[in-house]
């Protein structure tokens, strides 16, 4: 009943539950229909979410936004944990150098191109730096869901999955520095380098350490299960859900140490939990956990992407009267276009430096276009820090507007990359569900 205390009446609360139920079943069948048109089902989920958001706003239930935020945070926790499960150090040991080089190149290219374009033509230095930092973040949800749906294997997928852990760390570091600089400019306070560096470093270190502890506890719980235990699946399911929810709660709550509030990463912490569980547990325990969580995650992912679309519409509608619409549209367009070139160009050049095979260089950037909750969460934080200025709302609206565009075209980019490189250069990208079909059928995609 915490949600009710936030301002929603009991009636509107249960009506929202009913709307979410309808949304889930409509999203399921809409996704299946879109897939027949060769469009990723995530695009359908987001479109349904945009419609839901408009409906909720016009019906006057927009005070349920707090509930939406909780749902989205839980969803991103499960997505990040699932990505962590895929990250096996033994499997990517030979690709570590390649992953780091490509991640740094595409992150810095996205940051620099967006920053320069906004600074030269539209915005002051400190705000352009801040929005440029947000361009680095990539949404792992569409990438994970589509690669699993298409059963993709090979160097492209092996490079793509571990990339998010490195990228999230880079985003936190550059964003933390840019936000501290922007805050000091707006408030007229000194620019302290030590405090700037300490905040992001502590966030990364404690997110990894707490993820290690939760992952280790999960390993110890599941390790002693016997395969023939009739309640094995129930124990794995409940234990894993508790581990993910604990990661989400701690990450979004943070903690105090020596009177300093430590912020934690809502993506990096649950991802670290999954990484440590994956690498410390047996292959059988990891396989069983993945199998059970894949079934449980399906409704969560549908709700996550539809609610994300709805939240964006509601927040945009609530802020529409206080923004310069022309400036928002221009900044958003520049942001989306320059980020696109940054991801594609940076991945290609990084792949060349790392001596990746040609298909990884050519198609990896298309897999990095989706952007959603991580960037929105950071934009919310920026708005709270810059709440006394006009730029806080500008940053948030730009990121939300671009999220709609990236949410619709991003999954198409991932699917295009996987389908285009399937079967090329021997093992560059092998889509298992196509492998047993007629070779000519591959070309039709």
Position 412 scores a pLDDT of 72
CA 45/CA 31 separation, integer angstroms: 7
354 with 103: CB under 8 angstroms? no
pLDDT band of residue 404 (cuts 50, 70, 90) is: confident
Place of tokens 């909780």: 70
Position 286 scores a pLDDT of 79
CA 70/CA 87 separation, integer angstroms: 26
What is the average per-residue pLDDT within 127-152?
A: 75
364 with 351: CB under 8 angstroms? yes
Q: Tell which residue, 426, 383, 376, has the closest CA to residue 400.
A: 376
| Residue 319: HSE in the Cβ half-sphere, 13 Å Cα cutoff | 22
Tell me which of 117 and 401 has the higher pLDDT.
117
Place of tokens 């000091």: 184
pLDDT band of residue 115 (cuts 50, 70, 90) is: very high
Residue 280 belongs to some domain of the structure: yes
Please check the confidence at residue 405 and state whether its pLDDT lies above 90: no
Q: Tell which residue, 253, 324, 261, has the closest CA to residue 77.
A: 253
Position 444 scores a pLDDT of 33
Residue 51 belongs to some domain of the structure: no
Q: Mean pLDDT score of the chain, rounded to an integer?
A: 76
Q: Tell which residue, 338, 346, 342, 327, has the closest CA to residue 395.
A: 327
Residue 43 belongs to some domain of the structure: no
Q: Outline where DSSP puts E strands in 186-333.
A: 255-257, 260-262
CA 63/CA 321 separation, integer angstroms: 18
Residue 302 belongs to some domain of the structure: yes
Q: Which of 93-102, 113-122, 270-279 has the lowest mean pLDDT?
A: 93-102
CA 197/CA 180 separation, integer angstroms: 10
Position 389 scores a pLDDT of 74
Residue 25 belongs to some domain of the structure: no
Position 191 scores a pLDDT of 63
Position 4 scores a pLDDT of 42
Please check the confidence at residue 440 and state whether its pLDDT lies above 50: no
Q: Which of 176-185, 268-277, 306-315 has the lowest mean pLDDT?
A: 306-315
Position 7 scores a pLDDT of 47
Position 230 scores a pLDDT of 73
Please check the confidence at residue 1 and state whether its pLDDT lies above 50: no
Query: How many residues does the structure list for the chain?
Result: 445
Position 442 scores a pLDDT of 41
- Cα angle for residues 394, 400, 404 (degrees, 5° grid): 145
445 contacts: CB under 8 Å, gap ≥ 6: 38, 419, 422, 434
Residue 271's CB: how many other CB atoms inside 10 A? 29
Residue 7's CB: how many other CB atoms inside 10 A? 11
> If you ran DSSP here, which 8-state letter would residue 436 be given?
T
Percent above pLDDT 70 for the chain: 74
Please check the confidence at residue 138 and state whether its pLDDT lies above 50: yes
Parent domain of 328? 64-444
Residue 35 belongs to some domain of the structure: no
Residue 57 belongs to some domain of the structure: no
24 with 393: CB under 8 angstroms? no
pLDDT in tens, 204-230: 888 889 999 999 999 888 877 776 667
CA 84/CA 290 separation, integer angstroms: 11
pLDDT band of residue 341 (cuts 50, 70, 90) is: very high
**C-alpha of 184 from chain center:** 29
Please check the confidence at residue 237 and state whether its pLDDT lies above 80: yes
Residue 32 belongs to some domain of the structure: no
pLDDT band of residue 132 (cuts 50, 70, 90) is: very high
- Residue 258's DSSP bridge partners are none
Percent above pLDDT 90 for the chain: 8
What is the average per-residue pLDDT within 306-316?
A: 75
Please check the confidence at residue 338 and state whether its pLDDT lies above 90: yes
Residue 77 maps to which CATH number? 1.20.1530.20
Phi-psi region of 429 (alpha: psi -120 to 50; beta: other; left: phi over 0): beta
3-state secondary structure of 262: strand
pLDDT in tens, 17-73: 777 788 788 888 887 887 777 666 767 777 788 887 777 777 776 666 667 777 777
Position 246 scores a pLDDT of 92
227 contacts: CB under 8 Å, gap ≥ 6: 284
Position 117 scores a pLDDT of 94
> If you ran DSSP here, which 8-state letter would residue 257 be given?
E
Q: Per 3-state DSSP, what percentage of the chain is helix, strand, and coil (rounded to 5)? A: 80, 0, 15
What is the average per-residue pLDDT within 131-157?
A: 71
- The reported pTM is 0.70
| Count of domains for the chain | 1
What is the average per-residue pLDDT within 190-198?
A: 62
| Residue 254: HSE in the Cβ half-sphere, 13 Å Cα cutoff | 13
């Amino acid at each position: 009943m915490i949600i009710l205390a936030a301002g929603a009446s009991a009636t509107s609360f249960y009506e929202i539950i009913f709307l979410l139920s309808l949304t889930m079943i409509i999203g399921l069948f809409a996704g299946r229909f879109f897939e027949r048109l060769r469009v990723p089902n995530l695009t359908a989920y987001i479109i349904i979410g945009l419609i839901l958001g408009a409906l909720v706003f016009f019906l006057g239930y927009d005070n349920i936004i707090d509930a939406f935020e909780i749902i989205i945070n839980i969803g991103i926790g499960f997505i990040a944990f699932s990505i962590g499960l895929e990250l096996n150090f033994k499997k990517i040991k030979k690709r570590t150098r390649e992953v780091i080089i490509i991640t740094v190149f595409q992150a810095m290219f996205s940051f620099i191109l967006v920053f320069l374009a906004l600074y030269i033509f539209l915005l002051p230095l400190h705000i352009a730096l801040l929005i440029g930092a947000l361009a680095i973040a990539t949404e792992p949800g569409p990438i994970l869901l589509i690669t699993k749906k298409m059963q993709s294997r090979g160097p492209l997928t092996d490079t793509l999955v571990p990339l998010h852990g490195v990228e999230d760390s880079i985003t936190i570091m550059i964003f933390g520095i840019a936000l501290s600089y922007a805050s000091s400019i707006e408030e007229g306070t000194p620019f302290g380098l030590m405090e700037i560096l300490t905040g992001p470093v502590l966030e990364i270190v404690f997110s990894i350490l707490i993820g290690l502890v939760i992952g280790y506890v999960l390993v110890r719980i599941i390790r002693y299960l016997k395969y023939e235990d009739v309640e094995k699946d129930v124990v794995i399911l409940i234990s894993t859900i508790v581990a993910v929810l604990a990661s989400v709660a701690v990450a979004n709550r943070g903690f105090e140490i020596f009177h300093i509030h430590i912020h934690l990463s809502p993506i990096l912490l649950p991802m670290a939990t999954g990484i440590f569980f994956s690498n410390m547990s047996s292959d059988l325990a990891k396989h069983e956990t993945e199998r059970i969580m894949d079934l449980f995650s399906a409704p969560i992912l549908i709700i996550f992407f539809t609610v994300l679309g709805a939240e964006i519409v509601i927040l945009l509608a609530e802020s529409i009267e206080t923004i310069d619409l022309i400036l928002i549209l221009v900044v958003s367009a520049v942001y989306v276009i320059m980020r696109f070139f940054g991801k594609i160009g940076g991945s290609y050049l990084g792949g060349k430096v790392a001596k990746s095979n040609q298909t990884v260089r050519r198609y990896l950037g298309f897999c990095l276009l989706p952007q959603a909750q991580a960037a929105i969460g950071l934009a919310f934080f920026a708005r709270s820090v810059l709440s006394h200025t006009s730029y806080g709302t500008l940053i948030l609206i730009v990121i939300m507007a671009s999220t709609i565009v990236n949410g619709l075209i991003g999954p198409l980019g991932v699917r295009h990359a996987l389908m285009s490189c399937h079967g090329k250069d021997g093992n560059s990208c092998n889509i298992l569900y196509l492998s047993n079909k007629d070779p000519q059928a591959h070309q039709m995609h």
